[in-house]
Amino acid sequence: MDTSPAFPVRLIDGYRDFVTGRMPIERDRFEELARRGQSPSIMVIGCCDSRVSPEVIFDAHPGEMFVVRNIANLIPAYDATQGLCHGVFAALEFAVQVLKVGHIIVLGHAHCGGIRAYAEHGPALSPADSIHQWMSMIAPAAELAGPADEPEYLTRLERASIAVSLANLMSFPYVAEAVQRGDLALHGTWFDVATGQVFVRDGADYLEITTVA
C-alpha cells in the first residue's frame, strides 16, 4: 500500500494548464532550447520569497533568464582561501564563464523576511540557527542603512543589502574583469510586493523601472 502523501492538487491543475495552454504556444521555443541548449543573456539573483518570482515579474519566456534564489538575495564575497563550494558561487561562475551573460540583476524586495530576521534577531528556529548565520553577511548593510529606530528602516536595510551584494559581486575576479571589458553590467533592483513596481538602483537613488532609459 502506497502511504506517500498525495501530490499537491494545485500543481497538478497548474501542470494541466501548462500542457494545454502555454506549452502549445511555446512548443517551438522549448524544442529549440532542447536542441541547442540555453543561452540566456540575463542572470537574476533573487530571494526565495514566494511572492517574488523573477519570471512572473518580468514576464519572461523559457530560456531568457538564468535565475538563482536564496534567502534575501545575498551574494557572499569571494574568498579563494576558504575552499568553499557555494551554490551562489557555482551558479555565478557558470553564468559568467560559460553562458557569458551580459547582465546580472540583484533583485531585492519589500517585506523581506530574511532582512527582518536580521533586524529583529529573534530566537533560532533550529539548533543550527541557519537563518541568522546566513543573514550575518549583511552586517555591512546595517552600517549603511542608518539608525534602526528611524522610519522605513527595513526598506533602507533591504536596499543597502542590495548595494553590498553588488559590491561583493565585484570581488569575484572574473566578474570584475568582464565588467571592466564592458561585457557585463551589474544592476540592483527592488520590488514592491504591494504595488508590483520595480525600482532600479541609480547611485544612491532608486528609480521606477519604466522611467529608466
pLDDT digits 0-9 by tens, 160-171 = 999 999 999 999
Q: Which three cell numbers stand for residue 202?
A: 541609480
Give 121-170 pLDDT, tens digit per residue: 888 889 888 888 888 989 999 888 888 777 799 999 999 999 999 999 99
Taken in order 112, 114, 119, 121, the sign of the CA dihedral is positive
What amino acid is encoded at 174 in this protein? Answer: Y
The model's confidence at residue 80, banded by pLDDT at 50, 70 and 90, is confident
Spell out the domains of the chain, with CATH numbers in brackets: 1-37 (no CATH), 38-211 (3.40.1050.10)
Residue 149: the pLDDT is 79
- 168 CB-near residues (< 8 Å, 6+ apart): 75, 76, 77, 78
For residues 107 and 73, the answer to whether their CB atoms sit within 8 Å is yes
Residue 84: the pLDDT is 60
Taken in order 134, 140, 143, 145, the sign of the CA dihedral is negative
pLDDT of residue 2 exceeding 70, the answer is no
Taken in order 30, 36, 40, 46, the sign of the CA dihedral is positive
The DSSP 8-state label assigned to residue 183 in this structure reads S
The DSSP 8-state label assigned to residue 61 in this structure reads P
pLDDT of residue 81 exceeding 80, the answer is no
pTM of the model: 0.92
The long-range contacts involving 131-134, CB below 8 angstroms and separated by at least 24 positions, are: 131/71, 134/70, 134/71, 134/72, 134/74
For residues 197 and 208, the answer to whether their CB atoms sit within 8 Å is yes
Q: Distance between CA atoms of 23 and 11, rounded to whole angstroms?
A: 15
Q: Which three cell numbers stand for residue 1?
A: 500500500
pLDDT of residue 3 exceeding 80, the answer is no
Distance from chain centroid for Cα 149:
28
User: Mean pLDDT lowest for which of 44-48, 179-183, 184-188, 200-204?
Assistant: 200-204
Residue 83: the pLDDT is 55
